[in-house]
Chains A and B, each alone.
Chain A
Amino acid sequence: MMEYDVPTQADNAILTFDVVNVRAAFPILHQQVHGKPLAYLDSAATSQKPTCVIEAIDDYYRRYNSNVHRGVHKLAEEATHEYEQARVKIARFIGSPSHTQIVYTRGTTESINLVASAWGDANVGEGDEVLVTHMEHHSNIVPWQMLCKRTGATLVVAPIDKTGTLVMDAFERQLTERTKVVAVAHVSNALGTINPIERIIELAHGVGAVVVVDGAQAVPHMQVNVEALDADFYAFSGHKMCGPTGIGVLYGKADRLEAMGPYQGGGDMIKSVTFKHTEYNDVPYRFEAGTPNIVGGIGLGVAVDYLTGVGMDKIAAYEHELLEYGTAALQQIDGLRLIGTADRKAGVLSFVLDGIHPYDMAPILDRQGVAVRTGHHCAQPVMDFFGVPATARASLAFYNTRAEIDQLFVALKKAKEMLA
């Protein structure tokens, strides 16, 4: 381990968290790339999967692959049972009062598009405003831009400051009786900023706005309780929380979901169909047209069990200490500028090196076995705000170690040397 000047480091969580045991559950981590041990620091893009999730997927296809909600044979019943049980587990995991408030989607992006279409088209009109923040991921900007274009509403952007923190005074002033929707990230993917989501929701509700939370970077890293937050809608992705790709969730308040028309038409979202009229199904099935990602749902249920077993509070504490260690390490590199230095942050280290393009840095880090993301992170307005074309981003998960951060540190030194 390197000696960085880690401020106020109480490494209790690091010392007590059994990361060796955790890592044993993730087969992919135990490999070499380009002859170097893999340091996977790209979990904000997608997390790795524990053996239990991989085996659940395998088991489904080997033993009980069948369509859900349709057949009455044994396999169909088991598939339906497991798929619906997963919904119950997910509801419990995020503190949803009922599993009927959990809509399966393809991921956060589809969840947000679903709200923007099914709720937005019916409730947003000309002269209304949709308030987003400057730190949003494109998936929490573009669907609202499209809604505004369809309806004549206006997109309003709440500013951030130099540390990547939402400017709350300005945000408060931008909230008016015209604000119909506040769409905001719980945690910023490009900066790591943890937004004061409870306060945001409280303020938004004060003007009667509906709040749509992009929780993609929050649910994998902290205990989230959607009911306690009082969020109207809360979206997240399975693949960022140890689950399979192509499955995600939209949580909604029961009355909101109940009042919404369908999103897509097709099988499973109907009660009865004639050529004259279709009676739509109950919530949440009304929003789940077609054969769903059955194994994705089941896999996500297993992932939720796994995360619960490790303990979300333990994960949050461990990742926080890892973040402090990583921040201290990167700050020791001359010419390195951290992008996103908010007081409250999740495990995201976005940075640029003076005079070095992230695209030049990436292959050097790769050759040192270090996997980070470079680019605009689907948050071009954030890049514009900080005046950089792109950043490199190391993002942490509970299966990462201080040794991997050391490996990043050494690789960055090497990149500097080669690109000097």
Chain B
Amino acid sequence: MSDDTLTIDEIVENFEFLGDWEERFTYVLDLGKRLPEMDEDDMVEANRVHGCQATVYFKPTVIDADPPVIHFDATADAHIVSGLIAILLTMYNDRTAEQILAVEAEPLFEKMGLEEHLSPTRRNGLHAMIKRIRAIAAHVLAGDLPQQEATP
């Protein structure tokens, strides 16, 4: 994240201060604007998340450290989806597999009043992305570092 000072707890807290849906919606849009731009070279079919109304690209990279950490790059053409991705990455980005598996996205999204966006019927790719993040973490934890992973 470009704004490293913002933790997920702070984001959740900020949501608690926000009033009506309009303020919350605008805040999600703002978070989306902070999402770092994805390298154009990575915005390719192989990294495309399908089944979305928006065009979403998602690329995980396992960084060889001890223990390894997992880095995610992602972007969307719809601002609301970018905002949701930004929240997601605040939870999961550059964490170890163990840390990733310890985070449950659903209750946090619920606290922010955004749980509806996680529903598979929303077709915004978030649901698929979370499943994918957890699957990669599970692989890493099991010691079988994934090769070039297929997209979620």
A interface residues (Cβ-Cβ under 8 A, vs B): 34, 357-360, 363-364, 367, 374-376, 389-390, 418-419
* Distance between B129 CB and nearest chain A CB, rounded to angstroms: 15
Cβ B54 vs Cβ A364 within 8 A: no
Task: Point out the residues of chain B lying under 8 angstroms from A375, CB to CB.
Answer: 53, 123
Task: Point out the residues of chain A lying under 8 angstroms from B77, CB to CB.
Answer: 357, 389
Cβ B80 vs Cβ A359 within 8 A: yes
Give the docked Cα–Cα distance between A328 and B112 (Å): 40
Cβ A359 vs Cβ B54 within 8 A: yes
Give the docked Cα–Cα distance between A116 and B21 (Å): 48
Task: Point out the residues of chain B lying under 8 angstroms from A389, CB to CB.
Answer: 53-55, 77
Cβ A359 vs Cβ B26 within 8 A: no
* Distance between B30 CB and nearest chain A CB, rounded to angstroms: 12
Which 9 A-B pairs rank lowest in CB-CB distance, beginning with the nearest? A357-B78, A359-B78, A359-B53, A359-B54, A360-B80, A360-B78, A360-B79, A375-B53, A367-B21
- Known A374-B53, A375-B53, A389-B54: A359·B81 in contact at CB below 8 Å: yes
Task: Point out the residues of chain A lying under 8 angstroms from B22, CB to CB.
Answer: 367, 418
Give the docked Cα–Cα distance between A336 and B49 (Å): 28
Task: Point out the residues of chain B lying under 8 angstroms from A367, CB to CB.
Answer: 21-22, 25
Give the docked Cα–Cα distance between A364 and B79 (Å): 13
Give the docked Cα–Cα distance between A327 and B79 (Å): 27
Give the docked Cα–Cα distance between A18 and B58 (Å): 53
Give the docked Cα–Cα distance between A34 and B25 (Å): 14
Query: Which one of A359, A390, A419 contacts B29 once the chains associate, using CB atoms below 8 Å?
Result: A419
Cβ B79 vs Cβ A357 within 8 A: yes
* Distance between A33 CB and nearest chain B CB, rounded to angstroms: 12
Task: Point out the residues of chain A lying under 8 angstroms from B78, CB to CB.
Answer: 357-360
Query: Which one of B25, B55, B123 contacts A363 once the chains associate, using CB atoms below 8 Å?
Result: B25
Within B1-58, the residues touching A (CB, 8 Å) are 21-22, 25-26, 29, 53-55
B124 on the interface (CB 8 Å rule)? yes
Give the docked Cα–Cα distance between A375 and B78 (Å): 12
Give the docked Cα–Cα distance between A373 and B22 (Å): 21
> Could you jot down 22 A-B contacts, CB within 8 Å?
A357-B54, A357-B78, A357-B80, A359-B53, A359-B78, A359-B80, A359-B81, A359-B124, A360-B29, A360-B78, A363-B80, A364-B25, A367-B21, A367-B25, A375-B53, A375-B123, A376-B53, A389-B53, A389-B77, A390-B53, A418-B22, A418-B26
| CB closest chain-A residue, reference B32 | A360
Task: Point out the residues of chain A lying under 8 angstroms from B54, CB to CB.
Answer: 357, 359, 389
Give the docked Cα–Cα distance between A389 and B77 (Å): 10
* Distance between B20 CB and nearest chain A CB, rounded to angstroms: 9
Task: Point out the residues of chain A lying under 8 angstroms from B26, CB to CB.
Answer: 418
* Distance between A363 CB and nearest chain B CB, rounded to angstroms: 7
Give the docked Cα–Cα distance between A110 and B78 (Å): 34
Give the docked Cα–Cα distance between A357 and B124 (Å): 12
Give the docked Cα–Cα distance between A375 and B55 (Å): 11
Give the docked Cα–Cα distance between A390 and B124 (Å): 13
| CB closest chain-B residue, reference A362 | B53
Give the docked Cα–Cα distance between A418 and B28 (Å): 12
Give the docked Cα–Cα distance between A390 and B123 (Å): 13
Task: Point out the residues of chain B lying under 8 angstroms from A374, CB to CB.
Answer: 53
Cβ A419 vs Cβ B53 within 8 A: no
Give the docked Cα–Cα distance between A375 and B79 (Å): 15
Most buried by B among A357, A364, A418: A357
Within B60-112, the residues touching A (CB, 8 Å) are 77-81
* Distance between A389 CB and nearest chain B CB, rounded to angstroms: 6
Beyond A359-B81, A367-B21, list 19 extra A-B contacts (CB 8 Å): A34-B21, A357-B54, A357-B78, A357-B79, A358-B53, A359-B78, A359-B80, A360-B29, A360-B79, A360-B80, A363-B25, A363-B80, A364-B25, A375-B123, A389-B54, A389-B55, A418-B25, A418-B26, A419-B29
Task: Point out the residues of chain B lying under 8 angstroms from A419, CB to CB.
Answer: 29, 79
Give the docked Cα–Cα distance between A363 and B79 (Å): 12
* Distance between B118 CB and nearest chain A CB, rounded to angstroms: 14
| CB closest chain-A residue, reference B81 | A359
Task: Point out the residues of chain B lying under 8 angstroms from A363, CB to CB.
Answer: 25, 80
| CB closest chain-A residue, reference B117 | A363
Give the docked Cα–Cα distance between A357 and B80 (Å): 9
Task: Point out the residues of chain B lying under 8 angstroms from A390, CB to CB.
Answer: 53
* Distance between A375 CB and nearest chain B CB, rounded to angstroms: 5
Task: Point out the residues of chain A lying under 8 angstroms from B123, CB to CB.
Answer: 375
* Distance between A146 CB and nearest chain B CB, rounded to angstroms: 21
Most buried by B among A357, A360, A419: A360
Task: Point out the residues of chain A lying under 8 angstroms from B81, CB to CB.
Answer: 359
| CB closest chain-B residue, reference A414 | B22
